[in-house]
């Protein structure tokens, strides 16, 4: 669903101390302006009327020749357009396009980048999702190049939301979790809450409803404590969606009604209409089609085609109502409107649901061939979503294990930003105090040299960490693939044997579900220790996924590799699990492949091993199979 709050993106520059009574009045105005920018930047200004009042104040106190603050004000104006109001989208895009032509932006790359991000966001709201995503990708890359922490967090948060909505949960979670860390480092509690809402929503979308509800309830309580009831009711509606997906339909209905009545009492017709669409989906599952029509009829005047998220589901639910009443032609017409909206935003989840409804309509028309095709398309799209969800669980685990590395990288960025702010403040103040330029310059050089030396030491450490798995202390995927490529090329060149073993833990999800993630972590460490115990140092071993490991065996044929894999499986199965909880057991399955004359790429060799692993899993697990 679309974000419930207007995104307001601003970069705060350090205020300067007054050093002369001559410029006291001007300095006082810049202090007031910076204080307003700070307030807007904090994320607490979510009311457009209040924001426009602040803009008017800034226009009155910022000097015309104060280029930096004038550009900051331009950024605020860009984000102040309300996409829910008529003509505001086109006005916002025209404003951003014109603002980006200002020649002064060449000297202020952060201002320019934020305007580009604003333009991309309104492009998304206008329905051109593909172009918006290109803009987000560019913004993320440029923000890292500038080492602008706030813009990195904002760009990845916006991109993470879009990827999550489209069903690309892996990229979505990576972006949102990275943004969360940065917002916390920047001490922006309002944006921490907002981003946590998006993380919870991502959990909900890929099926982890219990975790989603846990995060939602924590946010709901926080917003109620802060007396931010609009935000609290928005979270309540999200909890209702999660409860519906858990099958708790009566609970979901009750929560939707709570949100519906709240927005109705506050005369927020658009928000009321959006909750009405959600309510319709629950009522369909309860079979109350009479009330479904009532809610959809109420919502339809307010849900415009530009509001794709709700527009698409509104017509999908309308099609289901027509189907229930036997109006099959009208059902197809509503599905056509829903399909166009889903495709515009590339919502695979919505398209999958649509295909299932379409198959039921064709079935009611006795059009067996079209019904089969629609159902087959539903299965294909559902498989694609399942793969993305599985990838997201892997991403979540990988991100948890790399928390220290993420924090170290963020500290490096924060230190660099603080140095830039210190340097900027000193240069501004030295316009009046020219006599101490040489002294301060020398002092800065010493500081920068010191931090440069410290940073070079950190970079060495980060380089090592980048090639090591944090949990198991084995090499990681990046290292082992580089090593495997070298071994592959050497084996092809010298005509010597080369084998690989891919293995992973059996039923690892059940271990995490039954005993907890901490026990799962200990199990992965045990597998790593077993590899170190059995394999010699000439056989590189690495953890390449959540519970998946890869072993490279140079100058080893497939038969020898098979024996090594058997030994590994036996050792794990017979391991001493006394330090684990009662009832704990662990086995692994492995696939073995050897280099053949037809293998002209490393990926072919790895795929053979991976296929063999799949066969081992299919044949009952706790065994090894050769390709």
Active site residues: 547
Strand order of the β-sheet with 588-594 is 541-543, 548-554, 498-505, 588-594, 624-626
* Sign, CA torsion 273/274/277/282: negative
Output the 3-class SS for 366-435: CCHHHHHHHHHHHHHHHHHHHHHHHHHHHHHHHHHHCHHHHHHHHHHHHHHHHHHHHHHHHHHHCCCCHH
HSE-CB for 434 with a 13 A CA cutoff: 1
Q: What is the dihedral of CA 399, 404, 408, 414, to 10 degrees?
A: 70
Strand pairing partners for 590? Answer: 503, 624
Residue 554, SS3?
strand
First CA to last CA distance, the chain: 45
Cβ-contact 212, 200 below 8 angstroms: yes
Compute φ and ψ for 451, nearest 5 degrees: -65, -35
Residues 6+ apart with CB under 8 A from 498: 487, 488, 491, 552, 553, 554, 555, 556, 594, 595, 605
Residue 25, Cβ density class (10 Å: 0-12 exposed, 13-18 middle, ≥19 buried) = exposed
Largest CA distance in the chain: 91
- Give CA separation, 334 vs 127, 293, 327, 337, in Å: 19, 13, 11, 5
Strand pairing partners for 504? Answer: 548, 589
Tell me the residue length of the chain: 627
Residues 6+ apart with CB under 8 A from 192: 180, 183, 184
Residue 507, Cβ density class (10 Å: 0-12 exposed, 13-18 middle, ≥19 buried) = middle
Residue 625, SS3?
strand
Q: How many helices (H) and strands (E) are present in the chain, helices listed first?
A: 25, 5
Residue 337, Cβ density class (10 Å: 0-12 exposed, 13-18 middle, ≥19 buried) = middle
The Cβ of residue 538 has, within 10 Å, a number of other Cβ atoms equal to: 10
The two three-digit tokens of residue 161, written as one number = 């939301």
The two three-digit tokens of residue 203, written as one number = 């959990």
Strand pairing partners for 549? Answer: 503, 543
């Amino acid at each position: 669903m679309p974000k419930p709050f207007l995104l307001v993106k601003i970069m705060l520059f350090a205020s300067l101390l007054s050093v002369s009574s001559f410029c006291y009045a001007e300095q006082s105005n810049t202090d007031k302006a910076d204080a307003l920018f700070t307030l807007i930047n904090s994320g607490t200004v979510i009311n457009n009327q209040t924001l426009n009042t602040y803009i008017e104040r800034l226009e009155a106190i910022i000097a015309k020749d104060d280029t930096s603050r004038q550009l900051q004000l331009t950024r605020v104006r860009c984000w102040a357009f309300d996409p829910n109001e008529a003509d505001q989208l086109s006005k916002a895009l025209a404003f951003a396009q014109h603002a980006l032509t200002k020649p002064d932006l060449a000297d202020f790359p952060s201002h320019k980048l934020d305007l580009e991000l604003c333009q991309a966001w309104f492009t998304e709201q206008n329905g051109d999702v593909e172009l918006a995503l290109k803009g987000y990708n560019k913004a993320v890359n440029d923000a890292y190049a500038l080492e602008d922490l706030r813009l990195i967090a904002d760009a990845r948060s916006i991109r993470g939301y879009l990827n999550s909505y489209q069903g690309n949960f892996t990229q979505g979670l990576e972006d949102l979790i990275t943004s969360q860390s940065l917002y916390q480092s920047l001490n922006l509690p309002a944006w921490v809450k907002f981003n946590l809402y998006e993380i919870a929503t991502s959990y909900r979308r890929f099926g982890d409803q219990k975790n989603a509800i846990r995060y939602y309830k924590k946010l709901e309580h926080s917003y109620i404590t802060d007396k931010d009831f609009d935000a609290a009711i928005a979270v309540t509606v999200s909890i209702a969606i999660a409860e519906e997906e858990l099958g708790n339909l009566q609970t979901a209905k009750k929560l939707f009604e709570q949100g519906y009545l709240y927005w109705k009492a506050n005369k927020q017709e658009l928000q009321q209409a959006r909750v009405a669409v959600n309510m319709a989906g629950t009522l369909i599952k309860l079979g109350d089609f009479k009330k479904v029509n009532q809610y959809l009829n109420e919502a339809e005047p307010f849900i415009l085609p530009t509001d794709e998220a709700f527009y698409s589901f509104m017509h999908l639910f309308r099609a289901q109502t027509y189907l229930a009443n036997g109006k099959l032609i009208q059902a197809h017409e509503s599905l056509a409107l829903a399909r166009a909206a889903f495709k515009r935003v590339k919502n695979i989840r919505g398209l999958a649901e649509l295909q299932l409804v379409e198959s039921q309509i064709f079935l009611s028309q006795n059009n067996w061939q079209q019904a089969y095709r629609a159902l087959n398309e539903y299965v294909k799209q559902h498989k694609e979503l399942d793969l993305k969800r599985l990838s997201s669980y892997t991403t979540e685990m990988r991100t948890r294990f790399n928390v220290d590395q993420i924090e170290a990288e963020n500290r490096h960025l924060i230190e660099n930003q603080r140095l830039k702010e210190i340097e900027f403040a000193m240069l501004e103040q030295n316009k009046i105090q020219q006599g101490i330029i040489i002294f301060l310059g020398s002092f800065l050089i010493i500081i920068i040299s010191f931090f440069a030396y410290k940073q070079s030491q950190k970079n060495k450490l980060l380089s090592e960490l980048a090639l090591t798995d944090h949990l198991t202390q084995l090499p990681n995927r990046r290292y082992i693939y580089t090593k495997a490529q070298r071994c592959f090329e050497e084996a092809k060149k010298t005509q010597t044997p080369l084998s690989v073993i891919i293995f992973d833990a059996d039923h690892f999800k059940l271990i995490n579900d039954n005993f907890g993630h901490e026990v799962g972590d200990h199990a992965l460490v045990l597998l790593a220790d077993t590899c170190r115990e059995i394999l010699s140092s000439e056989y590189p071993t690495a953890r390449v996924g959540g519970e998946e490991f890869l072993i490279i065996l140079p100058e080893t044929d497939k038969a020898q590799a098979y024996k090594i894999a058997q030994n590994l499986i036996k050792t794990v199965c017979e391991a001493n699990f006394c330090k684990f909880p009662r009832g704990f057991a662990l086995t692994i399955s492995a696939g073995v492949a050897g280099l053949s004359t037809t293998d002209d790429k490393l990926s072919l060799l790895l795929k053979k091993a991976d296929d063999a692993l799949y066969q081992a899993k299919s044949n009952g697990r706790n065994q090894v199979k050769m390709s």
